[in-house]
Structure 1
Amino acid sequence: MNKIGFDSKKYVEEQSRYIAERVSHYDKLYLEFGGKIIGDKHAKRVLPGFDEDAKIKILQRLSDKAEIVICVYAGDIERNKIRGDYGITYDMEVFRLIDEFRSLGLSVNSVVITRYHGQPNTKLFINKLEKRDMKVYTHKSIEGYPSNVDMIVSKEGFGSNPYIETTKPIVVMTAPGGGSGKLATCLNQLYHENQQGRSAGYSKFETFPVWNISLKHPLNMAYEAATVDLKDMNMIDNFHFEAYKEVAVNYNRDIEIFPVIKRIIERITKKESIYQSPTDMGVNRVGFGIVDDEVVREASNQEIIRRSFTVQCDYKKGLLGKDIVSSMQILLDQANLKQTDRPAVQPARDYAKRCRKRSETNETPAVIAFELKNGQIVTGRTSNLMDSSSAAILNSIKQLANVADEIPLLSLAILETIQKTKSDVLRNRRPVLNANEILIALAISAVTNPTAQMCYNKLYELEGVQAHSTVMLKKDDEQILRNLGIDITSDPEYPSENLYYI
């Protein structure tokens, strides 16, 4: 049974009230949203009980006062940067965000292309947006940003970038990912607002790190693990301590850039900033929603381990350097954790070892172990019929429905027909059925087979299941498991020696 460590309702109420109080000091507040507004899976994993759409609910409470601007860096469009959790490029993520926000009744003002200098793919992206009646602004790079304050706060700096016309007192700046230019866009707006005689302010809404818990709390260490590729490090906010004699946690980039941001804001507003520290700039109240610290600590430790597998797999794929792997190992050691502290890991490896003894090849056997929410471990392996993801899903729902292992859910004749279609009609050289195909077959079988229907109904209970694979999965299978709410990790091993692996 899942334990609860976080009160999401209390958090939404506290956070909404705090943002409303902050905006009361200005004609307009530019609120930089860090992390994910929709579907914050990281927060959900490390704060059991956290509503992954809590930020959206906060915005919906403020919807009559708020509108959204989406920033995206032109360079990320040019190189087709991928958002890992959805497996889509940043330009497609912008489209997805616009659709999501609109469906939730939130006002999307515009899209801002940052550091734009006529890049060809970005031009096409702008054209697509404008053809769909979406307002688009382009901001160029400013020479010397962020250190050359004289240049930045001038007609040749912020003054050369267009002002984004907004109508509501809260303007939320969000983006598909980090490095998209949200801060620069907020400061650009402050410059133009002040030039037009309006009082405007800036604040930052970052869920992590949590400023009012200890520096080495597993929750804050899990944030470091999640951003290890960015080389973010949690630090004591020395500015906050000097001003208030109060210990607060922030991260290196915010602390390092704070004096510059403070100078820019003071130059724009021509008065002393109300902010004495980067923590002051934040409006994060997530720490006040923690109701069981031990539950949060355990969940955060599991996230650190999960991230260590992600780093190793990305290194194997050539996406990260050895230095990132070393940094991740240091985090594991500091937290006194081993990868086998993840309960699904050793059973998967042990089963793979037994399969290897029976195998005639040297390839790593593809095995997945599911840790069900009741603590039971269920395994599945790749066979000539289906892959390990499919086998583990079927075995798990049979276990949850108390269906004997020897009772077949799916007709072998149907599965073989699907395989034949893949190989003979679609000319697929690997007709092993994947998770998507097996789930479709299960849904069809459930119409006429009561046992299949009973097991099909148990699919919803897979949400929150922890899983580990002895090989790296294909993107399609990874996404299916994510869609089911299963948290999957993998050993950094390819399932075969073939170079063409998707």
Structure 2
Amino acid sequence: IVYEAATADIGDINMIDPFHLQKYDISAVNYNRDIENFPILKSILERIGTNIYKSPTDMAISKTKDGILDDSVIVEAAKQEVIRRYFRYKKENLLGIIEKDVVDRTEKLMLKLGVDESYRKVVLAARDCAEQGYNQGKGYKSLFCGTAIEIDDGKKIITGKNSPLLHSESAAVINSLKHLALVPDNIHLIPEDIIQRIRKMKRNVGGSVNPSLDVSEMLIALSVSIGNNSYSGRCIEKIPLLNGCEIHTTHIPNIGDEEGIRNLKMNLTTDALSSQRIYLRT
């Protein structure tokens, strides 16, 4: 199912290998492309005087299962990967990269697995965070974004809201690092004057309509702030703990957010809201 989700944009599916069934009277699952092209390979092999394969399955007997010690871990990882693919396709469909049927195909795979969007813990947490921002009158220029990060092996979910100073992704990363480094919430890791200087440069030099800091900019500002307080250094030391963490945001991240999150090696998904303000965010 994960393979079908990963290739939903090109329509690949898993099928019973008819060649294997005919030859050995054993049902084996294989990829449709292998099955469709096996007659071509078989013809080529016969022409060169060898025919060692009787079916596509013969060509690649998988020994992966021999290395699986806990099937429940594999099943859970598969569910999470299919959901991540689903959110990716939703975003790409919204941007006009793929057709809606790819999203629908992946959603059907999720139904087979008995999961939906909410199965990914950070999804509802990010949406609730954005709603809280709206109710509290936070956000920036009537745009209310929420981001959630799952840390401590899923034991804790940390959120962040957007503001005139930081994107919601940046706020969530900072809040996560503070939690991991045991830094009190009332401690400001990055002096506001540093943030304001960056915002001023983005507005005056780059013409940015939203000069708040994305993740890439925030990480640079955090490293610069080490000289101002020891807490920043402690938080930077905890950055490796974000590797592999799940993160979800309610809006389409900009390039700086995506690159920063990718550098942190986190698994990103997004609701890809259709507000025009989001597309103009830089």
Q: TM-score under structure 2 normalisation?
A: 0.92
* 1:471-482 → structure 2 map (5 Å cutoff): 471-482=251-262
1:336 Cα offset (Å): 1.1
- Aligned-partner SS, 1:403: coil
- Aligned-partner SS, 1:468: strand
Alignment RMSD: 2.1
Indicate the residue corresponding to 1:331 in structure 2.
109
* 1:432-471 → structure 2 map (5 Å cutoff): 432-471=212-251
Q: Distance in 1 between matches of 2:171 and 2:141?
A: 22
Q: Distance in 1 between matches of 2:74 and 2:215?
A: 32
- Aligned-partner SS, 2:277: coil
Task: Assess if the C-alpha contact under 8 Å between 2:143 and 2:277 holds in 1.
Answer: no
Indicate the residue corresponding to 1:74 in structure 2.
none
1:448 Cα offset (Å): 4.8
Indicate the residue corresponding to 2:184 in structure 1.
404
Q: Which residue of 336, 346, 350 corresponds with 2:128?
A: 350
C-alpha spacing 1:454/1:497, structure 2 compared with 1 (3 Å): closer
Q: Which segments of 5 or more consecutive residues in structure 1 lack a partner in the other structure?
A: 1-220
Q: Distance in 1 between matches of 2:121 and 2:57?
A: 37
Indicate the residue corresponding to 1:235 in structure 2.
15
Indicate the residue corresponding to 2:263 in structure 1.
483
Query: What is the aligned length?
Result: 280
Q: Which residue of 130, 150, 153 corresponds with 1:371?
A: 150
Task: Assess if the C-alpha contact under 8 Å between 2:89 and 2:103 holds in 1.
Answer: yes
Q: Which segments of 5 or more consecutive residues in structure 2 lack a partner in the other structure?
A: none
Task: Assess if the C-alpha contact under 8 Å between 1:462 and 1:485 holds in 2.
Answer: yes
One-letter amino acid of the structure 2 residue matched with residue 256 of structure 1:
E
Task: Assess if the C-alpha contact under 8 Å between 1:240 and 1:247 holds in 2.
Answer: yes
* 1:46-445 → structure 2 map (5 Å cutoff): 221-267=1-47, 269=48, 271-282=49-60, 284-359=62-137, 365-374=144-153, 375-445=155-225
C-alpha spacing 1:420/1:469, structure 2 compared with 1 (3 Å): same
Task: Assess if the C-alpha contact under 8 Å between 1:366 and 1:495 holds in 2.
Answer: no
C-alpha spacing 1:322/1:495, structure 2 compared with 1 (3 Å): closer
1:501 Cα offset (Å): 5.8
C-alpha spacing 1:409/1:497, structure 2 compared with 1 (3 Å): closer
Higher helix share: 2
How high is the sequence identity, in percent, across the aligned residues?
Answer: 38
Q: Distance in 1 between matches of 2:255 and 2:197?
A: 24
Task: Assess if the C-alpha contact under 8 Å between 2:6 and 2:85 holds in 1.
Answer: yes
Q: Deviations over 1:397-430 (max 9, x none)?
A: 0000111111111111111111112122333332
- Aligned-partner SS, 2:147: strand
Q: Distance in 2 between matches of 1:246 and 1:337?
A: 31
Task: Assess if the C-alpha contact under 8 Å between 2:15 and 2:31 holds in 1.
Answer: yes
Task: Assess if the C-alpha contact under 8 Å between 1:235 and 1:250 holds in 2.
Answer: yes
* Larger of the two Rg values belongs to structure: 1
1:272 Cα offset (Å): 4.1
Indicate the residue corresponding to 1:100 in structure 2.
none
1:343 Cα offset (Å): 0.7
Q: Deviations over 1:21-66 (max 9, x none)?
A: xxxxxxxxxxxxxxxxxxxxxxxxxxxxxxxxxxxxxxxxxxxxxx
Q: Distance in 2 between matches of 1:346 and 1:362?
A: 23
- Aligned-partner SS, 1:365: coil
Q: Distance in 1 between matches of 2:99 and 2:272?
A: 14
Q: Distance in 2 between matches of 1:228 and 1:362?
A: 37
One-letter amino acid of the structure 1 residue matched with residue 197 of structure 2:
T
- Aligned-partner SS, 1:413: helix
